[in-house]
Amino acid sequence: MTSMEMAHFPILTAILMSTVLGLIVIMFIPDGRDKLVKQVSLVFSGIGLILCLWLYHAYDVEKGGLQFVERTLWVKSLGIYWFMGVDGINLPMLLLTAVVLFTGVLTMWELENRVKEFFAFTFLLVAGVYGVFMSMDLFWIFVWYDVSLFPMYPLIAIWGGTRKEYGGMKLTLYLLAGSVLILPGIIYLWAEGGAHTFDLFELARGGFSPQVQNIAFLMLYLGFGVLAGVWPFHTWSPVGHVAAPTAVSMIHAGVLMKLGAYGILRLGMTLCPEGLVYWADLMALLATVGIVYGAFVGLAQTDLKYVIGYSSVSHMGIVGLGLSTMTVNGINGAVFQMFAHGVMTALFFSAVGYIYDKTHTKMIPDLGGLSKTMPVASAFFIIAAFAGIGVPCMASFWAELLVFISAVQTYPVRGIFAVLGLVVSALFMLRVVMSTFYGEKNERWAHIPDVPMSLATPRIILVGVIVFFGLFPRMILDVIQSAVIPFVSSL
Amino acid sequence: MMKWVLFIPELYYVLMAVVFFALSLQRKSEPRRLYTWAVILSGVGVLVAVLSARLEGMVFFDAYRVDLYSQVFKLLLALGTFWVVLTCSELEGIDSRQHAEFYLFTFICTLGMMMLVSAVELLTIYISVELSSYCLYLLVAMRRKTDEFAETGIKYFMVGSTASGFMVFGISYLFGMTHTTYVAELMKVLPGMMTEPAAIVGLVLALSGFFFKQALFPFHIWAPDVYQGAANQVTTYIATASKMAAAAIVIRFVGFSGGESAVFIKLLVVLSILSMTFGNLVAIIQKDIKRLLAYSSIAHAGYMMIGILSMTQRGYASAIYYALAYLIMNFACFMVILKIADDGHNLKIKELAGLHKRSPLLAMTLMLGLFGLAGIPPTVGFTGKFLVFAAALEQGYLTLVIIGMINATISLYYYLIVIKAAYLLEPVNPYPPVRVDKWTKSLAIFLVIAMVYVGIFPDQFVALTEAAARSLFI
């Protein structure tokens, strides 16, 4: 009965509002009260996390389908709806967003420069991310998508590190260049749909001619692909990651890049199944190239953040490969990988963030033997590296396993190349771990204290999530599957 | 005569002009008092425009139509004028002896433009255009340090009168073809004649006069120089209020063809693409912020054209919405410029350095305004672009829309440069803090809220613009 009662409570809007209200409250805090800003941010991101956890718990896996639906007519003459709901695909994404935001806020606890603006922009960004994941209306998906992109510019250009202005500008222009295809793609589908509605499911029911689907799918795939780091549109990603401050890297690589893959899945594949079939080959090819390319380029990097940046390209390739198989296992794995990779990169960047804050370098040759001076900080990075390689008991193990099984079945040659790419990426991860944390101790860093408890908390949460879903993969796979099975059977 | 009720907004502006004519005869000038009077009178002007929004009818032997379309634009004009007058508390760009004349010509110009949006007879349209144009020629030339900017006034006048010449020539063609100067007749007869080259030539020539006001490529050459050379307040007026009137009349004239001529539509498509691309590419290299906004206005004329050339009711409605959006966001940008350059000089982009510390509110207004111009949600500028593109895609202009989006991305680059200056750069030598009075503060807050509200809750505004577009065809 409780679920009936709660169904009337607009929980999704509440989650979205937790960030919007947080943003407004932060804006009205007088200057100089930095501590208060951080506390307020923590409270509001905490509210979001609790609501998301509750949502995850309350979602009825047996029933499946779209739940907690809110639907109101927004703009009559265009058929735009305030339409939100969760199913097995976006539910893990919402949880991921909440976890990464919460830990991101904690990670930035020591920020001193322009604190208020930092958290305001971060909340705006996350409001956009939540919005994209919840909305089931094309207009709103695009609105939130852009809302989540443009705060990246100030966040990187003001608080960033290496070549921050270049990195910020490149990233912003690249990502918005993706919108160049997405927006016309969306409106094109609206115009061709005839029913004049932006409601995702109504459009999908209406169906489109194969030719329209081919054009629209390509537009959506390339448009969202830029954000998903699809090779060869990935070049903004390592540069942007390196330039961004820690929490922004976390949110960006952890959550924002998932928006791209999610967009391909939710818009492209749902609305244009025939377009997907037509272009699946290209998708698989680009994804495989991305996996292999990311791994090899990662091998040559000397900057810790570049290493993670290229490993992200490689890992997002796995997501793309999983989607392109059009099988239950493949898409299951892809969605799981989105979640697992999100948590993992967040951990990666927050681990590097601490090291960089203290040593002011992230060049691998300058470091070395860090595990002796700061064992805890090193442990976080090493765990993330293991997760990245796909060691069992880590969440990404299951995800990568599922994707590779179905990839080898669907595209034997590419699947094998992708697996080889994974081996190379294991190689470069281990190489980085070895030369950064083991080997000769660099005396310059001997005096540096290890991570204090307050800063370790967010990292421990992330490790906890990785291991939890590594040990109990069904906790998330059942949820994902409840949406993927009907989806694949409808293809 | 009840019919005179229909003419009340215009009569009110005549009255205002008379008041300021009387004030201009005074030997001693008191800028503060003039300002107060102008604010009050133009504020009441907005009220008058709101109250007369629902009037409908014909006056002056059917040469003048009052309907929702004209009244919406009159409201936009009154609003634009009021906002510009509000920012005139430091009218440093113009000699204090001429302040009364400044207000006088501003109000007469608004009057001319109000008549323009209601006029449905070609000669009435021509007279209204000239009434507003001559006031603008004077206003532009009024700037202090005339020697430096003398070229501007002359250039504007020369180009403007040439454009008027073209327009009259085009109108004569239209009359020759259709034997009428009444718009209602024209709209019936002309679509059937759109295969005749003479009809297209006539229409295009007549339109070129309005394209000039709108600063659509290739009729834009005056814009950068005039934006830079005119006093900041006058530039604001040209960039906001006068653009509304231009949009209104272009929509009406393009509608004449009834979408019957493929050649005509192709021509508009080409002009739209050239205007967007040229404006955005040249804007990238600008250092002076008024020049930058001039080029951006050329680009925006192109975006608006995308909606107009769809030739559907939805297209015209989207163009009206776009005009509203453009008024709000462009004014937001100009207001910030006016307040920072309160001694009336031309602002360089780098002078915005550290604005986020000097005045966080103005910095935010500027950022939202610029993001709006770039078409980033959740601002009104995005929703405007969305509507325009939706109207165009409904007619199948996919390539045009993609070119429009590419342009939006290009434009983002130079808007980001300005935002970077305001938020990232630290001033080399400390600039004086920006004085923000109560009026400015509330206006800035209002604009910020309006930009987001109209963008996120567009339903009633879209419904209004669609009703207005419908009344074009009755």
pLDDT at A8: 64
Give the end-to-end CA distance of chain A in Å, rounded to a whole number.
35
Is the minimum CB–CB distance between A78 and chain B shorter than 8 Å? yes
Number of independent structural domains in chain B: 1
Confirm if A124 and A147 have CB atoms less than 8 A apart. Answer: yes
Shortest CB distance from B424 goes to which of A144, A157, A188? A157
Give B-chain residues touching A132 at CB under 8 angstroms.
none
Q: pLDDT, tens digit, for every residue of A211-224? A: 889 999 999 999 99
Could B409 and A173 be called an inter-chain contact, meaning their C-beta atoms sit closer than 8 Å? yes
> What is the predicted ipTM?
0.88
Distance CA B225, CA A204 (A): 51
Is the minimum CB–CB distance between B412 and chain A shorter than 8 Å? yes
Give B-chain residues touching A17 at CB under 8 angstroms.
none
Q: Please, which pLDDT band fits residue B90 given cuts at 50, 70 and 90?
A: confident
Q: Please, which pLDDT band fits residue B433 given cuts at 50, 70 and 90?
A: confident
Share of chain B above pLDDT 90, in %: 42
Could B389 and A165 be called an inter-chain contact, meaning their C-beta atoms sit closer than 8 Å? no
Is the minimum CB–CB distance between B356 and chain A shorter than 8 Å? yes
Q: pLDDT, tens digit, for every residue of A400-425? A: 889 988 988 888 888 888 888 888 88
Q: What length is written for chain A?
A: 491
Shortest CB distance from A75 goes to which of B314, B405, B458? B458
Query: How is chain A split into domains, by residue range?
Result: 2-490
Q: Which helix (H) or strand (E) holds B410?
A: helix B398-423
CA distances (Å), B429 to each of A2, B340, B354, B432, in order?
63, 16, 11, 9
Mean pLDDT of all residues in chain A? 86
Give B-chain residues touching A193 at CB under 8 angstroms.
none
Portion 290-349 of B in contact with A at CB < 8 A: 314
CA distance B212 to chain A (A): 29
Confirm if B199 and B220 have CB atoms less than 8 A apart. Answer: no
State mean pLDDT over A22-36.
Answer: 86
Distance CA B445, CA A27 (A): 13
Return contacts of B45-51, CB within 8 angstroms, 24+ apart. B45/B9, B45/B12, B45/B13, B45/B16, B45/B78, B45/B81, B45/B82, B45/B110, B46/B75, B46/B78, B46/B79, B46/B82, B48/B8, B48/B9, B48/B12, B48/B78, B49/B9, B49/B74, B49/B75, B49/B77, B49/B78, B49/B79, B50/B75
Return contacts of A297-302, CB within 8 angstroms, 24+ apart. A298/A425, A298/A428, A299/A424, A299/A427, A299/A428, A299/A431, A301/A364, A301/A428, A302/A363, A302/A364, A302/A365
Q: Which of B355, B365, B389, B451 to mutate to test the interface with A (most CBs of A within 10 A)?
A: B389
Confirm if B63 and B124 have CB atoms less than 8 A apart. Answer: yes
Portion 83-122 of A in contact with B at CB < 8 A: 117
Is the minimum CB–CB distance between A173 and chain B shorter than 8 Å? yes
pLDDT at B383: 93
The token pair that represents B191 in the structure block: 């679509």
Could A187 and B401 be called an inter-chain contact, meaning their C-beta atoms sit closer than 8 Å? yes
pLDDT over 80 at A491, yes or no: no
Shortest CB distance from B459 goes to which of A76, A143, A169? A76
Nearest partner of A337 among A230, A416, A258, judged by Cα? A258
Looking at residue A135, the DSSP 8-state letter turns out to be B
Is the minimum CB–CB distance between A135 and chain B shorter than 8 Å? no
Give B-chain residues touching A143 at CB under 8 angstroms.
377-378, 382
How many other CB atoms are found less than 10 A from the CB of residue B270?
11
pLDDT at A6: 44
Portion 103-162 of B in contact with A at CB < 8 A: none
Q: What length is written for chain B?
A: 474
Nearest partner of B379 among A199, A155, A147, A120, judged by Cα? A147
Distance CA A191, CA A489 (A): 27
pLDDT at B189: 83
pLDDT over 60 at B150, yes or no: yes
Distance CA A333, CA A392 (A): 15
Confirm if A93 and A334 have CB atoms less than 8 A apart. Answer: no
Nearest partner of A178 among A150, A212, A197, judged by Cα? A150
Confirm if A264 and A150 have CB atoms less than 8 A apart. Answer: no
Q: pLDDT, tens digit, for every residue of A296-308? A: 888 888 888 888 8
Q: Please, which pLDDT band fits residue A394 given cuts at 50, 70 and 90?
A: confident
Lowest mean pLDDT, pick from A133-137, A313-317, B127-131, B344-348: B344-348
State mean pLDDT over B52-74.
Answer: 87
Confirm if A122 and A76 have CB atoms less than 8 A apart. Answer: no
Give B-chain residues touching A183 at CB under 8 angstroms.
386, 389, 401, 405
Q: Please, which pLDDT band fits residue A4 given cuts at 50, 70 and 90?
A: very low
Q: In sequence order, which residues have a C-beta less than 8 Å from that of residue A258 and are 6 or more positions away?
A: A93, A96, A228, A338, A341, A342
Confirm if A285 and A414 have CB atoms less than 8 A apart. Answer: yes
The token pair that represents B165 in the structure block: 């010449």
Could B389 and A184 be called an inter-chain contact, meaning their C-beta atoms sit closer than 8 Å? yes
Q: Which helix (H) or strand (E) holds B136?
A: helix B122-141
Nearest partner of A481 among A376, A356, A333, A317, judged by Cα? A333
Shortest CB distance from B377 goes to which of A76, A146, A187? A146
State mean pLDDT over A235-241.
Answer: 83
Q: Please, which pLDDT band fits residue B1 given cuts at 50, 70 and 90?
A: low
How many other CB atoms are found less than 10 A from the CB of residue A214?
18
Q: pLDDT, tens digit, for every residue of A51-103? A: 999 999 888 888 888 888 888 888 888 889 999 989 889 999 999 999 999 99
Shortest CB distance from A147 goes to which of B377, B406, B463? B377
Tell me the range of A129-138, A379-388, B86-95 where mean pLDDT is highest: A129-138
Peptide bond into B218 cis (omega under 30): yes
Portion 255-284 of B in contact with A at CB < 8 A: none
Is the minimum CB–CB distance between B251 and chain A shorter than 8 Å? no
Shortest CB distance from B389 goes to which of A157, A177, A187? A187
Distance CA B299, CA B302 (A): 5
Distance CA A238, CA A146 (A): 20
Could A190 and B408 be called an inter-chain contact, meaning their C-beta atoms sit closer than 8 Å? no
Distance CA B447, CA B372 (A): 12
Could A180 and B378 be called an inter-chain contact, meaning their C-beta atoms sit closer than 8 Å? no
pLDDT at A3: 39
Lowest mean pLDDT, pick from A192-206, A233-247, A358-372: A358-372
Give A-chain residues touching B386 at CB under 8 angstroms.
139, 183, 187
Q: Please, which pLDDT band fits residue B366 given cuts at 50, 70 and 90?
A: very high
Q: How far is CA B144 from the centre of its chain?
A: 24
pLDDT at B74: 93
Give B-chain residues touching A153 at CB under 8 angstroms.
416, 419
Where do the DSSP E strands lie in B102-222?
Answer: none
pLDDT at B76: 92
pLDDT over 90 at A372, yes or no: no
What is the crossing angle of helices B398-423 and B262-283, to 10°? Answer: 20
Nearest partner of A370 among A456, A303, A435, judged by Cα? A435
Lowest mean pLDDT, pick from A3-7, A143-147, A445-449, B187-191: A3-7
State mean pLDDT over A262-282.
Answer: 90
pLDDT over 80 at A440, yes or no: no
What are the φ/ψ torsions at residue A199 (nearest 5 degrees)?
-65, 120
Confirm if A103 and A461 have CB atoms less than 8 A apart. Answer: yes
CA distances (Å), A89 to each of A101, A261, A396, A482, A491, in order?
19, 11, 17, 9, 16
- Please compute, for residue B73, the number of CA atoms within 13 A of its CA located in the half-sphere on the CB side: 36
Distance CA B425, CA B351 (A): 10
Peptide bond into A238 cis (omega under 30): no
Confirm if B425 and B353 have CB atoms less than 8 A apart. Answer: yes
Lowest mean pLDDT, pick from A6-15, A305-314, A383-392: A6-15
Q: pLDDT, tens digit, for every residue of B293-337? A: 999 999 999 999 999 988 888 999 999 999 999 999 999 999 999
Mean pLDDT of all residues in chain B? 88
pLDDT at A1: 33
Type of residue at B20: F
What are the φ/ψ torsions at residue B65 (nearest 5 degrees)?
-115, 130
Confirm if B299 and B455 have CB atoms less than 8 A apart. Answer: no
Is the minimum CB–CB distance between A82 and chain B shorter than 8 Å? no
Could B412 and A173 be called an inter-chain contact, meaning their C-beta atoms sit closer than 8 Å? yes
pLDDT at B237: 92
pLDDT over 70 at A5, yes or no: no
More confident residue, B473 or A91: A91
What are the φ/ψ torsions at residue A140 (nearest 5 degrees)?
-70, -35
Is the minimum CB–CB distance between A143 and chain B shorter than 8 Å? yes
Share of chain A above pLDDT 70, in %: 98
Portion 6-35 of B in contact with A at CB < 8 A: none
Q: pLDDT, tens digit, for every residue of B157-208? A: 998 999 999 999 999 998 988 888 888 888 888 888 878 888 888 888 988 8
What is the crossing angle of helices A412-437 and A375-389, to 10°? Answer: 170
Confirm if A4 and A60 have CB atoms less than 8 A apart. Answer: no
Three-class secondary structure of residue B230 per DSSP: coil
Could A180 and B376 be called an inter-chain contact, meaning their C-beta atoms sit closer than 8 Å? no
pLDDT over 60 at A246, yes or no: yes
Distance CA B446, CA A389 (A): 53
User: Can you give the C-alpha Rg of chain A in angstroms?
Assistant: 21
* Concatenated DSSP letters of B102-128: HHHHHHHHHHHHHHHHHB-BHHHHHHH
Range of the domain at B58: 2-471
pLDDT at A29: 87
Cα angle value B415/B419/B420 (rounded, 5°): 115
